Amino acid sequence: MMIQTAPNKPSWPRAIGIGIAVSVLTAIVMVTLLKTGVSPFPKPPSLAFAETLLGRTLPMPVGLLFHTVYVTFWSVVFVRYFPRKTLLTALGLAAVLWVVILVVFFPVVGWGLAGLAIGPQLIPASALPHLLFGLLLWGLDRSFGH
């Protein structure tokens, strides 16, 4: 008699570790672009969201904490629950999250639909970190075995 078992899900520590790594790497890129004046964002979206949510000006570490929680959450969802963890599915998740930032986050923080109250440059500028998120998520998930 053969007993069929469900495939093992990746461990919580592994999934959270990948999420934190993706969060740190994307934050380094975004903060560097902001500090060098390359980024067209008035402030990091996670900081703007935290300030809107809490109703006051906050220091950068609070924005980074919000970024870490958000990125880690979605990374854990991908690593633990996506049945097919291909490059295409990672980029698909990144694309969905990009649309969410354009139609939910940007309007909530006062930047308008797709960030158009700031300018159309926020559309491609917000696509790049999401592309980086998808690539890093897929690559780190593959690199750290199952």
The alpha carbons of the chain give a radius of gyration, in whole angstroms, of 17
Angle at alpha carbon of residue 29, lines to 25 and 20, rounded to 5°:
20
The string of pLDDT tens digits covering residues 41-69 is 999 999 999 999 999 999 999 999 999 99
The more confidently predicted of residues 3 and 62 is 62
Report d(CA 68, CA 21) in Å as an integer: 9
Kindly report the average pLDDT of the chain as a whole number: 93
pLDDT at site 144: 84
Nearest to 48 by CA among 36, 32, 30: 30
| Alpha carbon separation from 115 to 41, 51, 60, 102, 126 (Å, rounded) | 9, 17, 21, 7, 9
